[in-house]
Amino acid sequence: MSTDSTTVVIIIGGGLGGLALAQLLLQNSSSIKVLVFERDKDENSREQGYCIGLDSMGLDVLTQIRVLDNLLRDESDAVYTLSFFRLVNKYLQKIIDFNAKDNKLVDREDLRQALLTNIDVQWNKRFISYKIDDDGVEAYFEDGTSVRGTILIGCDGTKSIVRTQLIPEFQRNDLRIINIGGTAEQNASLKKIQELTKQSLVRVFGKQGHTLLILPYRQSWIWALSWPEKETHEETNITSLTIIEKARQYFNNDEIIRLIESSSPSTCIGPYRLYSAACLRQNPFPNNSRVTLLGDAAHPMTTHAGKGANTAFADAFDLANLILNPSSSTLSEYEQKMFKRGFTAVQMSLFSTNMIHSIGWRASFRNCIFFIMRYTRVLINLISIPFRFYKKKPD
């Protein structure tokens, strides 16, 4: 990247990661030109999902983006703080709680709208290829146009076209798991669900690898049902009645059935298949001086560890620092750091996905481990009571 002329950054993809990168660049430099290209016809042409979980890594980045100050303030209704990740069985009996460490849920659409502030996204621009020469990189689009820049960043998601050209051998693996989500208004008659979801994200283990995620948000419950595929392309035959029947067959719990029944079909997202990168041990990025990747384009992963958006924001932060201070590090150093962080998250996500969809003896072993963990905690707490009492006793 040139340090003595205007740097033109081409961002392919107007998702959360690409927009975070654009904001970090624009708020810290008036001399960098940022061009964002998005395949969607406009900002409202595609469903963006419900909300995303933010851990400390993601929050540390977002709090440095000035246009998000109002959105992320404590009193904002777009942000919800979690206290626990809670695992329960199909009878809605608690198995174990994990401290959520004040992870937050943020409305995905509200976050995207805030990140779009002052960003002149060029919509309906389908990227098809790039060409590198001595002076820069040229991006080509389906409508016959092209644009020239200093560096091109692929932020175009799990099916990245940029990645296909940059790393042709890179593959996404079909995990043969189907996922569908929906929302329902919170209902006081669903007493167990209401109690379990107080400031908690709840994972319900059903039969034969079926699992249900329930989380509270504003006045609604968001749910996501997923299961291992039994028939080829099973997702093509899913209807609302099919989902209700699955709730009956694999959970057989009245409150879960009523939760699914009360969901409006218009709020449902999916069904869709889950894909993931393999757990690579070696950095696949080719040390290209003009083109690199960010977020899901670089390390596609499942949603089950809540790492996707957070690693994308961390990628955006590191890449912005490199572009703003080109003498401080190199693109290959960014890619090595991004690779280690991203593929650690891929591994964690795959482990979580396989664990929650376990079948047979693996599911029994999983439940046994959680049982041991739970009662080990109880035993430790009982043993520590006299020591806590002794410490409080006055001299």
8 A C-beta contact, residue 352 and residue 346: no
User: Please, what's the b/e burial string for 249-267 (b: 16 or more CB within 10 A of its CB; e: otherwise)?
Assistant: ebbebebbbbbbebbeeee
Q: Which residues contact 394 (CB under 8 A, 6 or more apart)?
A: none
pTM: 0.91
Tell me the longest C-alpha to C-alpha distance in the chain. 82
Each residue's pLDDT tens digit, 17-58: 999 999 999 999 989 999 999 999 988 877 777 889 999 999
Per-residue pLDDT tens digits for 68-102? 999 988 666 778 888 999 999 999 999 999 998 87
Cβ 362 vs Cβ 200: under 8 Å: no
Band of pLDDT at residue 2, cut at 50, 70 and 90 = very low
Q: Are 57 and 310 in contact (CB under 8 A)?
A: yes
Residue-level pLDDT at 3: 44
What three-state secondary structure class fits 347? helix
Whether 230 shows a pLDDT value over 50: the answer reads yes
- DSSP secondary structure code for residue 48 in this structure: -
Strand 269-277 with 291-293, pairing:
unpaired
Check residue 124 and give its pLDDT: 96
d(CA 236, CA 179): 12
Cα 43 to Cα 77, 367, 369, distances in angstroms? 22, 43, 45
User: Hey, what domains does the chain have and what are their CATH numbers?
Assistant: 8-43+116-171+278-354 (3.50.50.60), 174-276 (3.30.9.30)
Instruction: Kindly report, residue by residue over 156-175, the tens digit of the pLDDT.
Output: 999 999 999 999 999 999 99
| Confidence band, pLDDT 50/70/90 cuts, at residue 178 | very high
Q: Count Cα neighbours of 308 within 13 Å in the Cβ-side half-sphere.
A: 20
Name the pairing type of β-strands 291-293 and 151-154.
parallel
Tokens of 395: 């001299």
User: At residue 375, what are phi and psi to the nearest 5 degrees?
Assistant: -80, -20
Across the beta sheet with 172-185, the strand order is 94-99, 84-89, 200-205, 211-217, 220-228, 172-185, 269-277
The mean per-residue pLDDT over the stretch 183-197 comes to 95
- Helices 308-324 and 16-28 pack at an angle, to 10 degrees, of 30
